[in-house]
Each structure stands twice: as C-alpha cells, then as structure tokens.
Amino acid sequence: MAVCTVYTVQSLHSTCSISSPTKTHFGFHQRRVFVYKKSARKAGISCAAAAAGDGKTVVIGLAADSGCGKSTFMRRLTSVFGGAAEPPKGGNPDSNTLISDMTTVICLDDYHSLDRTGRKEKGVTALDPRANDFDLMYEQVKALKEGKAVEKPIYNHVTGLLDPPELTKPPKILVIEGLHPMYDARVRELLDFSIYLDISNEVKFAWKIQRDMAERGHSLESIKASIEARKPDFDAYIDPQKQYADAVIEVLPTQLIPDDNEGKVLRVRLIMKEGVKHFSPVYLFDEGSTISWIPCGRKLTCSYPGIKFSYGPDTYFGNEVSVLEMDGQFDRLDELIYVESHLSSLSTKFYGEVTQQMLKHADFPGSNNGTGFFQTIVGLKIRDLYEQIIATKAAAPVEAKA
C-alpha cells in the first residue's frame, strides 16, 4: 500500500504534529513523505527551530537541464565567496543541499511532488510542472529570503523517494538550482539575479555520449532514446526560462573547425542583459563597440585551432544585451591573464583574480575553455552584486532616520 505521512505547520509559532499514515491522491510509493498542507503552508517554516535571520538573504537562481554543468558552476561560485560547500553536518547523507560560510545551495529537485514511481505511473517526467510543488517552493524561498528557517523536503536521487525534511536556515546567499528556478512567476520575482546554462543539442549529445558510454556503459541507442524522451518536456518547460535570465552562458560547437560536433572544442557566449540592477555587463576593449579579436601569437600560446574572441551589443528575446564570445581553448591557464587584462567591468578585487580562480580550479570541467572562464566571471559579478545589495540595505535605515 502506498502511504504518506502528513506534516502540518500552523504558523511560525505553532507546534508540529505528525498524522497517522494515509494515502494521498498522488499515490506515492515511499517510506516516509512529508506533505505540507495548503492550510499550513506559510512556507513550511520550521516550528522546531525558526531561526531568525537578518533579512538580508540574496537569492540567486540557476537553471539548466541535467548534466549541463550546474554542479561545476556551483563549485566555482561558492569558491568565490570562500570556503568549500558541503552537505549539512549530521543530517541526511542523501541531502542535496550544500552549505558554505556564506552560501546555501538548494537543489529544486527537492520540490518534486511525485517520487520516481509516481511519475512513472502518471506518465510524467521530472521536467513536467505537474511533478513539482511550486507553491511550496515559492513559500519556502520567500521565507528564507525574509530570514526565516524552513523544513525543506529532500528528494532522494538514490532511491527515487521523498525523504523526511531537513532544517534549512537563511544564509547570506541562497542559490536555488535545478530545472525550474524561473518557471513560476512568483519564484522568479524573488530572485536578485538569475543565470541559465544553455547547452546546444549537439554539445549536450556529445557530452552525454562521452559520460554515459565511457562511465556508465550505456549504449549509443539508449542514450539517443533518453535524450529524445526528455526533449519535448525540455523544450516546453525548461528552455523557455532563458528569456528571463539576467545572464545566459550558451555553449555551442566551435566554428574554428569545419563540421566539428564532438564537443571537444567549444564556442561559448556570455549573454548579459542590460539594465539589471547592481549588474554591469563585462566588455572587451570598448564598451558598446563591436569587436573581433584573435589574441594568439607572442602573448598567448594557442595550438590548433586557436582562439577567437568577439564582443558587441545584440537583442535577446526582445531585451538589449551585451554578448562576449570565446571560441577555442587555452593551452596555458597562467597566460589567461593576458586576456583578462583586456576585459573591463570584471568586478575583481585585484589584478589577475579571474586567472587566479581559474588556476585554483584547473581540474574542474571546462577550465580550458569559455565555460569555466565565463562561469568564473559570472561568479565574481554575483559577489559584486551581493555586496552592492547589502550596502544598499545597510544604508537604507540611516537615510530613513535622516
């Protein structure tokens, strides 16, 4: 029999209660699942320990399909703020949450409303909004942004079940990453900054083949079938979110090698929306100009097929944007400082900080091409955005008294 344990929360100051097992209309097949009742939603705020924050949590949203580099981006971002991100100590070993000194990263898979068996029975994928609880997602992200702790659910990727919730306290920087951070308009409004990792079908296919055939023993036919099965829902529910992103990292096949679809050499575009509060786009040489630059030569070691940069204004889903593009890859990361010196508005603390961060994580995927380079740059821009927001909030009470 499918059972579900119901967890109710009356208000921030209420006591908690556990009901007797009962079957829900979703038909969960799992050990224990906590479902937050509509009448008790108020964000599922922890009644065990609703630790009050300072109300200065900055919320960042990161959207991408599975296997598109979200984890690597998170590692680069948390490194910018110092300290490694680790799972909550003493909690569920299968928790998806990562915590560092300043950041908490929440995986939005935790807001699945259907477990793996339930999705299979109803014929929906995890990409389908019907398999996700956006009401709870909104209420809990809103509570954390307001400085209130929540009891956040856990989706267990190992078992495919929904585990009992974990206490999540408001951090200085909350990152929500996953398939749907910009899908729900209410959640979208809570974001102080948003990023979309846009991996082209050709590159995504090449990456998946490399990973699943080499590491997991999957056949080429099964990989193709898996991609095709996800594609309709990806096109309908995930990909449209990029129109709302403040920054898009777009990964495409190289144009330096004719008919290259192996995904080894990449062309990466950093698309930055103009007019975003506390964010100024990075530019090459001259802001607003159209630039094409091949830096290889005496100042940069570039083997075949070389490196090409470009920069210029453009429009993206009706928005004015600046686009910085890199095609090719680096041979030596220490020489990256030459490229860095020609970029402006990087929001670095010192000369060569981008290069330092890249060298620090030279073993991360994408460290020799534009994926790692632009992820690092966006991480530094987010740090600057956070500092500006905090400074603005700190100054507000002083101005009010004056």
Lowest mean pLDDT among 228-232, 239-243, 256-260, 271-275: 256-260
Instruction: Note the helical H segments in 253-369.
Output: 336-340, 353-360
More confident residue, 45 or 267: 267
Residues whose CB falls within 8 Å of the CB of residue 92, separated by 6 or more in sequence, listed in order? 154, 163, 164, 166
pLDDT given at position 194: 98
What is the C-alpha to C-alpha distance for residues 205 and 262, in angstroms, rounded to an integer? 9
Top-confidence residue, 84 or 370: 370
Q: What is the CATH number of domain 47-194?
A: 3.40.50.300
**Residue 2 in this model has a pLDDT that exceeds 60:** no
- The H-or-E segment that residue 269 falls in is strand 266-273
Pick from 2-16, 108-122, 200-214, 284-298 the range whose average pLDDT is largest.
108-122
> What value does the mean pLDDT take over residues 2-25?
33
Which among 177, 46, 186, 196 is positioned nearest to 106, based on CA atoms?
Answer: 177
> How far apart are the C-alpha atoms of 329 and 336, rounded to whole Å?
10
Of the given ranges (30-34, 39-43, 81-85), which has the lowest mean pLDDT?
A: 30-34
Q: What's the distance, CA 305 to chain centroid?
A: 31
User: Which residue reads 């905090």 in tokens?
Assistant: 390
Q: Tell whether the model's pLDDT for residue 313 goes beyond 80.
A: yes
pLDDT at 400: 56
Inform me whether the pLDDT recorded for 18 exceeds 70: no
Residue 35 or residue 252, greater confidence: 252
Neighbour-count burial for 73-107, b at 16+ CB within 10 Å, e otherwise:
bbbbbbbbbeeebeebeeeeeebbbbbbebbbbbb
What would the mean pLDDT of 206-224 be, rounded to a whole number?
72
Averaged confidence pLDDT in the chain: 84
Beta bridge partners of 104: 99, 174
Q: Does 83 have pLDDT greater than 80?
A: no
Q: According to CATH, where is 3.40.50.300 located in the chain?
A: 47-194
Q: Could you tell me the two tokens for 193?
A: 């900054």
Residue in the structure block whose two tokens are 């908690």:
16
Which alpha helices (H) appear in 96-234, and where do they start and end? Answer: 116-122, 134-145, 185-190, 201-215, 220-233
Query: What is the rounded CA–CA span in Å between residue 242 and residue 371?
Result: 17
The pLDDT of residue 73: 92
* pLDDT bucket at 259, cuts 50 / 70 / 90: confident
Tokens at residue 256, please?
């330096």
Q: Mean pLDDT over residues 294-318, rounded?
A: 89
pLDDT given at position 214: 63
List residues bridging with 310 in a β-sheet.
292, 325
State the pLDDT at residue 261.
63
Q: Give the span between the Cα atoms of 207 and 213, in whole angstroms.
A: 10
Could you tell me which residue, 71 or 29, shows the higher pLDDT?
Answer: 71
Given a cut of 50, whether residue 258 has pLDDT beyond it is yes
The 3 state secondary structure assigned to 59-96 is: EEEEECCCCCCHHHHHHHHHHHCCCCCECCCCCCCCCC
Residue 397 burial (CB count, 10 A): 9
123 three-state secondary structure? coil
Phi and psi at residue 103, to the nearest 5°: -120, 150
